[in-house]
Amino acid sequence: MIHLGLGEDGHTASLFPGSPALKEVRALIAQVHDAPKPPPDRLTLTLPVLNAARAVLFMVQGSSKREALARVLRRDPALPASHVQPLDGGNPEIKGWRGPAAAWKEIKSAQRAFNSKKKKKSR
């Protein structure tokens, strides 16, 4: 199981929008320089590692991340977290929302819609 968070900009792990690390296909770990949040230099797991997991769990907290989460659930390709898609066909699970209750209902509804579309494609 891989446990991830979600940033307001849609980043996860240390995979930020526009990062060259998003294009890594072989390495398990990538160096990140000039990250938009401190510390500027860091290491991150790459998408091949994240997507090889049997289970991926996102913990999301705060209403400031609501829009990013909605975009991730719509699989907006501009957001790094949208590219976390376990290879076994499973979906990352969203847990631990801390924000307005109405936003959680909206998020769960979007997740159900996403899961429903995915099931139809696999038939």
State the pLDDT at residue 117. Answer: 58
Reduced to 3 states, what is the DSSP secondary structure of residue 70?
helix
pLDDT of 73: 84
Q: What is the pTM of this model?
A: 0.77
User: Is 26 in contact with 32 (CB distance < 8 Å)?
Assistant: no
* Domains defined for the chain, CATH in brackets: 2-122 (3.40.50.1360)
pLDDT tens-place values along the chain, 123 residues long: 889 999 999 999 999 999 999 999 999 999 999 999 999 999 999 999 999 988 888 888 888 888 998 898 888 999 999 999 887 666 666 655 556 666 666 666 766 766 665 555 555
- The H or E element containing residue 43 is strand 42-45
> How many Cβ atoms from other residues are within 10 Å of residue 55's Cβ?
13
Residue 87's nearest CA partner among 109, 62, 55, 113 is 55
